[in-house]
Amino acid sequence: MITEMAAKAREASLELARLTAEQKNRILLDMADSLDKNRGRIIAANNTDVGNAVGVIKDSLIDRLKLNESRIDLMIESLRQLAGLKDYVGEIISERTLENGLVLTEKRVPFGVIGIIYESRPNVTADVCGICLKSSSAVILKGGKEAINSNRVLVGLLSRACPVKDAFQLVESSDREITAQMMNLTGHIDLIIPRGGEGLIRFVRENSKIPVIETGTGNCHIYLDEEHDPVKALNIIINAKTQRPSVCNAAEKLLIHKNVGRDFIKKIAGELKERGVEILGCERTQKIIGCSAATEKDWHTEFLDLKIGIKIVDDAEQAIRHINKYGTRHSEAIISNSRENIDKFLNEVDAAAVYSNASTRFTDGYEYGLGTEIGISTQKLHARGPMGLKAMTTTKYIIKGDGQVRE
């Protein structure tokens, strides 16, 4: 079944590759309208999913599953914004004539067929279909079974607005065997992107034979250096931890230089506790603020919650080593007035995004000016950090000759 879907997707991808930017933008606006005119159907299907999920999955997951008018607004807005963004398909990266007269052109081309394996959030369905359409790839969506009714209606409405048959196909079976088969279709699916929790991402990384772009896991750190501006420091720490704790670019750990005053550490802890943040500390931290002990596992964990690990470190060097050991290479920040330590941190911390004196919460395609993103890559291959439309293309060498042969 999945092989047949992949074959249909390949056919669709050839048609998608022939669309002009104008045609694709028109389709995106039609897709937005199709959702806009059928809000009732979307909400009804989503209510069924939410009803089925109550008592079965965690409340926080139900919140991610739920669609309301404002979340539908966002899906629609996202599709309309995509229509206004640059189309990278067909872009000439370089072109030159070699000494032997061959004309060598490197060009951006669509991936072809993309597989997305994701959980809960049905808004991902609309985002992914929009991004794939704009970058001329066909997509096979394998959503979570908890969102099946919402996804079925969304893919139906989006497909209805798209003249290319099979551009968006939803795998309706919830059988894990189907996911395994999907990850085995080398040559039929060109790229797999998992979106979801750490477990899902690990499962895909460990089992896919198709190239994967990992997205999302963010065990992000803030390092508070000895010399710093205390007002800005407090602001950044509170923002990075509490402004939206459930997302991947929220801070999960705070590393503090040993010479930072005890009073200031108490103040930081107090402000965090006031906002409901639970603190887990290293031995030195526990002595200053009286909190539970952080375990080795905690230093590795992305809490995605109002919870933070605090560790006192000897210097920037130790902070960098801790981050490179425990971090997930997502977003890492230093708060410091020392240019030397800032440069050292920005150079030596191995992550997609490194910050000085700013909140880690900025790692986001929209904030970076890329428009909608398909995810935040935490690997080093192909794309790193927020992945916009450019990351959703590949390249091709086109060589035009006049009978040239190799000597």
Q: Site residues (CB under 8 A) for its own copies?
A: 10, 14, 17, 96, 98, 102, 104, 111-112, 186, 190-191, 205-206, 209, 211-213, 229, 231-232, 235-236, 238-240, 243, 324, 342, 346-348, 350-359, 361-363, 367-369, 379-382, 384-385, 394-406
| CB closer to its own copies, 55 vs 70 | 70
Q: For residue 140, how many C-alpha atoms fall within 13 Å in the half-sphere facing its CB?
A: 30
- In the complex, minimum distance from the CB of residue 286 to its own copies, in angstroms, rounded to a whole number: 28
Q: Which residues, other chains included, contact 327 with Cβ-Cβ below 8 Å and sequence gap of 6+? A: 219, 220, 221, 349, 350, 351
Q: Which residues, other chains included, contact 354 with Cβ-Cβ below 8 Å and sequence gap of 6+? A: 331, 332, 333, 334, 345, 346
| CB closer to its own copies, 54 vs 231 | 231
| CB closer to its own copies, 22 vs 367 | 367
| CB closer to its own copies, 59 vs 77 | 77
- In the complex, minimum distance from the CB of residue 53 to its own copies, in angstroms, rounded to a whole number: 30
- In the complex, minimum distance from the CB of residue 383 to its own copies, in angstroms, rounded to a whole number: 8
In contact, 113 and 141? CB cutoff 8 Å: no
- In the complex, minimum distance from the CB of residue 118 to its own copies, in angstroms, rounded to a whole number: 19
- In the complex, minimum distance from the CB of residue 237 to its own copies, in angstroms, rounded to a whole number: 9
| CB closer to its own copies, 122 vs 385 | 385
Distances (CA, A) of 126 to 132, 205, 379: 10, 24, 25
Q: How far apart are CA 277 and CA 264, in angstroms?
A: 17
- In the complex, minimum distance from the CB of residue 306 to its own copies, in angstroms, rounded to a whole number: 17
Q: How far apart are CA 167 and CA 339, in angstroms?
A: 50
Does an H or E element contain 293, and which?
A: strand 292-293
Kindly state the DSSP code that residue 87 receives in the 8-state scheme: P
| CB closer to its own copies, 50 vs 223 | 223
